[in-house]
Chain A
Amino acid sequence: MEDTLNNTAEHHRDYTGAKMGMWLFLFTEMLLFGGMFILYAVYRFEYPADFHTAAKELDTTLGAVNTLILLTSSLTMALSIAALQKNRKRLSLVFQVVTMLLGAAFLGNKYVEWGAKIHHGIYPNSGHLLSLGKGQILFYGLYFIMTGLHGLHVLIGIGVFLFMFYFTKSGTVAEDNSVKLENAGLYWHLVDIIWVFLFPLFYLIT
């Protein structure tokens, strides 16, 4: 009996079920950021002038480069799935590594950006920031929390892809069983989409 149980437990696969579970999890991620977007909307409405001033300080070029990096990483991520489904394991692994590298580049860029802000005395509760308008304090508060939380998600995404790399290599994730990689891809896309909203809200609308 033990054998039959282990067999069903280990070989039971439900592609649709696994996808559905992932989508439900993505809903929770959207709502997690949704709470932050509500805060942003309310405070932007309350302090339009301060938000305008503060947004001008952000480096649009750095932001645009990061957007480009992240969008490209979504492409390589999708390619890694396509490669695996065409049973080209090596190619898939290469694309997974490129995806992770692009994620890391995004984070490096973010580090430079945050570093410059902190260097100029703009960080939560800093004397300089507190001397600015109330809306600016809130703008930067939201900026650090939202991009920080997003950065954390990129980091987690890289971690997930490290696992995927290992799984693909060992054959757990393969042509006929790619749902793990697909779900990891969905997660990566979600993190991307959140950035697609963060970028205009903080950098472009001035």
Chain B
Amino acid sequence: MKEDRENRKADRGFWIYEGGKTGLFSWIFTTDHKRIGILYLTSLAVFFAAGVTFGILMRLELISPGKTIMSASTYNSIFTVHGVIMIFLFIIPGIPVSLGNFLLPLQIGARDVAFPRINLLSWWLYIAGGIIALLSLFTGTGPPDTGWTFYAPYSIRTGTNVSLAVFAAFVLGFSSILTGMNFITTIHRLRAPGMTWFRIPLFVWTLYATAWVQILATPILAITLLLIILERFFGMGLFDPAKGGDPVLYQHLFWIYSHPAVYIMIVPAMGVVTEIIPVFARRTVFGYKAIAFSSIGIAAVGFFVWGHHMFTSGISDTSKVIFSLLTFLVAIPSGIKVFNWVASLYKGSIKVDTPLLYVISFIFLFCIGGLTGLINGTLATNIHIHGTHFIVAHFHYVMFGGTAFAFFAGIHYWFPKIFGRMYSEARAKLAWLFLFIGFNVLYFPMFIVGWQGMPRRYYDYLPEFHNLNFISTTGSWILAVGLILLFANLIRSVRKGEIAGSNPWKGTTLEWTVPSPPPVENFEEIPTVTHGPYKYE
């Protein structure tokens, strides 16, 4: 009897092992990368739910022209908070800190990341940042109303609680930097014997590229945000034209970080997609090196395109042309990836399970998001659509249709590994159907109203935009149903799902060679790697 229980305990791997601490403490003070991954996953889900709620409220306000459920200033606060939460608390940390934390050591054959305690610290900073962000909503002089970009000079003059919100983003930046530093060192130092650079799974390559962007771009944001706080308290005048400062310079500094940040969000998602395709097509990935280098390429070129956010801000024509050209260049490595994904599916023995459904929708939605990005990046058309709902539709296609869909794909794909149990396939597919339809009904009309000239960031609009806005709001409800179905199915399956076994998908990367859920030390013996990651007959 006792032995039985011990055996069952052993089956639950890292879920049972508490490392000398008990209960909650065994989680919030853990240095196990798997537990930290779970901590992040849970926290991300909470913030995501909050962000979605604010998003749905915004759509509800826009269901008809004029004031529907909130005042203009409330709407300003809500879209700011929606942006801050979704960007800084959900999609930037997103895949690397949750799936990345859990899987990176497993995929390269290591027992943990290089700096387990710094890993825990970065989670604590993340939570601290999240709490400060929430505090900024309920304390002081009212929630910030600047938009997530905190553009000067308004962010310096507004009476709302901007300093605290900015400080939250600063703390979150610190967390992001530490994760990046940890991952780069881990990938350099802790690969299993025989795991050469071209044998690491492509998800790891994307984490590597992302980590570099995190390290090199985030400090610029940190100093910029710090300057906003200092300006608000001491009035140096660095961005205040009355004192000789230049607000456009603020935009430059902000986007020097925030455009590369877009690649922090999307590149790991591409990694997840690349992991899933070979498993469900039963063949090796097409063009391993092309995918690996295009990740680095996207990350590198991504540093030099920030000016395309500022085409209407009054920068010189020369720099506009250069930034526009560089923007088109980023499309090349992205295009290479899409080509490789499709080529990997070609002549494969495709099995359309939930992860692949999400992956295929990712490719579809990402293509729409990416190609409309080129419309934004073209100087002439940019003038027409700048600051309209077209932009809102574009980045939601990339961020939600791209990153979040890939995130869902990854959660479904690695769910049996993380929890040791399988979710209900039928329910997962139903949730996907709602999500996919809801997503397109929600965001596609925005392309049209945006093209017709409806500006973003207003709680009101002209009556001729009513029909499309109504359709869009309906879409938000369908999407919400999909999300509820998705999470209900997963949460239920954590306890009630069927036992999954160590390798339900017949994957070939290292994480599938260990039991599900993985034991505390991951590998009983560190494996020796003799071939590439995607070896199928």
Interface residues of A (CB under 8 A from B): 1-2, 5-6, 8-9, 14, 16-17, 20-21, 24-25, 27-36, 38-39, 42-43, 46-47, 124-125, 130, 133-135, 137-138, 141-142, 144-145, 149
19 more A-B residue pairs beyond the given contacts A125-B234, A145-B238, with a C-beta to C-beta distance below 8 A? A1-B520, A5-B520, A20-B185, A21-B118, A21-B182, A24-B184, A25-B177, A25-B181, A27-B216, A28-B218, A31-B220, A32-B222, A35-B253, A35-B256, A36-B223, A39-B238, A39-B249, A47-B244, A124-B237
The reply to whether the CB of B140 lies closer than 8 angstroms to some CB of chain A is: no
> Given A5-B19, A9-B116, A42-B246, are A125 and B235 neighbors across the interface (CB < 8 Å)?
yes
Min CB gap A145→B, angstroms = 6
Please state if A28 and B31 are interface contacts (CB–CB under 8 Å).
Answer: no
Please state if A28 and B236 are interface contacts (CB–CB under 8 Å).
Answer: no
Please state if B236 and A124 are interface contacts (CB–CB under 8 Å).
Answer: yes
How far is it, in angstroms, between the C-alpha of A19 and the C-alpha of B229 when the chains are bound?
33
B206-222 vs A, Cβ < 8 Å mask (1 yes, 0 no): 00000000011111101
How far is it, in angstroms, between the C-alpha of A8 and the C-alpha of B253 when the chains are bound?
43
Closest to A27 in B: B215
The reply to whether the CB of B521 lies closer than 8 angstroms to some CB of chain A is: yes
Please state if A14 and B189 are interface contacts (CB–CB under 8 Å).
Answer: yes
The 8 closest A-B pairs by CB, nearest first: A134-B244, A141-B236, A125-B235, A35-B223, A31-B219, A32-B219, A17-B189, A124-B234
Closest to B180 in A: A24
Please state if B189 and A8 are interface contacts (CB–CB under 8 Å).
Answer: no
How far is it, in angstroms, between the C-alpha of A14 and the C-alpha of B246 when the chains are bound?
46
How large, as a class, is the contact surface on chain B?
35 or more
Please state if A138 and B244 are interface contacts (CB–CB under 8 Å).
Answer: yes
Q: Which of B176-206 contact A (CB under 8 A)?
A: 177, 180-182, 184-185, 188-190
Min CB gap B413→A, angstroms = 28
**Which of A17, A47, A134, A145 interacts with B114 by CB under 8 Å?**
A17
Residues in chain B near residue A134, CB distance under 8 A:
243-244
**Which of B181, B244, B245, B256 interacts with A21 by CB under 8 Å?**
B181
Min CB gap A128→B, angstroms = 14
> Given A8-B111, A25-B181, are A137 and B237 neighbors across the interface (CB < 8 Å)?
yes
- Chain A residues touching B, majority SS: helix
The reply to whether the CB of B64 lies closer than 8 angstroms to some CB of chain A is: no
> Given A35-B224, A47-B244, A134-B243, are A28 and B520 neighbors across the interface (CB < 8 Å)?
no
Please state if B185 and A124 are interface contacts (CB–CB under 8 Å).
Answer: no
How far is it, in angstroms, between the C-alpha of A47 and the C-alpha of B245 when the chains are bound?
11
How far is it, in angstroms, between the C-alpha of A145 and the C-alpha of B222 when the chains are bound?
14
The reply to whether the CB of B72 lies closer than 8 angstroms to some CB of chain A is: no
Closest to A141 in B: B236
The reply to whether the CB of B162 lies closer than 8 angstroms to some CB of chain A is: no
The reply to whether the CB of B291 lies closer than 8 angstroms to some CB of chain A is: no
Min CB gap B182→A, angstroms = 7
How far is it, in angstroms, between the C-alpha of A119 and the C-alpha of B89 when the chains are bound?
44
**Which of B219, B227, B236, B243 interacts with A29 by CB under 8 Å?**
B219
How far is it, in angstroms, between the C-alpha of A34 and the C-alpha of B220 when the chains are bound?
7
**Which of B116, B223, B245, B521 interacts with A32 by CB under 8 Å?**
B223
Residues in chain B near residue A6, CB distance under 8 A:
20
Please state if A16 and B189 are interface contacts (CB–CB under 8 Å).
Answer: yes
The reply to whether the CB of B115 lies closer than 8 angstroms to some CB of chain A is: yes
The reply to whether the CB of B52 lies closer than 8 angstroms to some CB of chain A is: no
The reply to whether the CB of B230 lies closer than 8 angstroms to some CB of chain A is: yes
Q: Which of B159-180 contact A (CB under 8 A)?
A: 177, 180
Residues in chain A near residue B184, CB distance under 8 A:
20, 24
**Which of A14, A25, A30, A141 interacts with B238 by CB under 8 Å?**
A141
Please state if B31 and A2 are interface contacts (CB–CB under 8 Å).
Answer: no
Residues in chain A near residue B520, CB distance under 8 A:
1, 5
How far is it, in angstroms, between the C-alpha of A2 and the C-alpha of B26 when the chains are bound?
14
Please state if B236 and A145 are interface contacts (CB–CB under 8 Å).
Answer: yes
> Given A5-B521, A21-B185, are A28 and B223 neighbors across the interface (CB < 8 Å)?
no
Closest to A143 in B: B236
> Given A31-B219, A124-B234, A141-B236, are A21 and B253 neighbors across the interface (CB < 8 Å)?
no
Closest to B234 in A: A124
Closest to A36 in B: B223
Residues in chain A near residue B234, CB distance under 8 A:
124-125, 144
- A-B contacts, 22 of them at CB < 8 A, read A5-B520, A9-B116, A20-B184, A21-B118, A24-B180, A28-B215, A29-B219, A30-B219, A31-B216, A32-B219, A35-B219, A35-B253, A38-B253, A39-B249, A39-B253, A46-B246, A134-B243, A137-B237, A137-B243, A137-B244, A141-B243, A142-B236
Residues in chain A near residue B245, CB distance under 8 A:
138, 141
